[in-house]
Structure 1
């Protein structure tokens, strides 16, 4: 069964408990992507003796603490090593510029700025766009195409990602 938690821990807890109360067939909880939701549901599910599997929650360092979140399992990777990996690849492949495309949503934009600031020796440009602004998305991608830039790092929703790659 699926429901949209809207990246809100209270909404996720309420929705999960409503679904849990309506069935005895539960084997686990999965699919979350927002750190607050992952942390909250990990505690709740552990109390119900259910494992939690997340496809994302990569910026949640606290979630790596197995004493706090013993039933939490991460399918994605943590982002703490991304700057080191990008610098290694920049040197290896002689990359000269990084394009960072991000949702204008503050949480994604902040992550883009943090990445840019953690790479002072790697020239980069941040392009920020609203999730539903198709014309702006086309304009940004056209700019990247005309400048013949090919190294792109993305922060945003799946909906925006699909727009960007189209």
Structure 2
């Protein structure tokens, strides 16, 4: 909030007549507003998860439509950084017992991290493997060719 307030003060004062500075400060405001929005969404998701803790989902949902929805949600950010997202949809109409909103949010977070930390012009591949009918398991792999995390930067 301090960065947004500071940028607004500068826009009203020293940058009032400087178009180039206005663009820079509007970008700052937009970036920080996006961060605040994501933080609020994360807090709401965490609160929802805590409220639903230990409740097994009874609802069946189509996994492919959840993943496609998550891709649509972050597609504009991917385009801004020239990130391509490829969904290998060999597996069609897989139904899983899950909370669709939580699952979609999890995929959004994974894709968002690939965009945020992978760099520009990254390719992200989403692959579904397994057969819920035979083995009752499905694996969703999200792979990218972006920058790798150094082991010492990972928590845990």
Q: Same fold judged by TM-score > 0.5? A: no
| Bigger proportion of residues as helix | 2
| Structure number with bigger Rg | 2
TM-score norm. by structure 1 comes to: 0.25
TM-score norm. by structure 2 comes to: 0.26
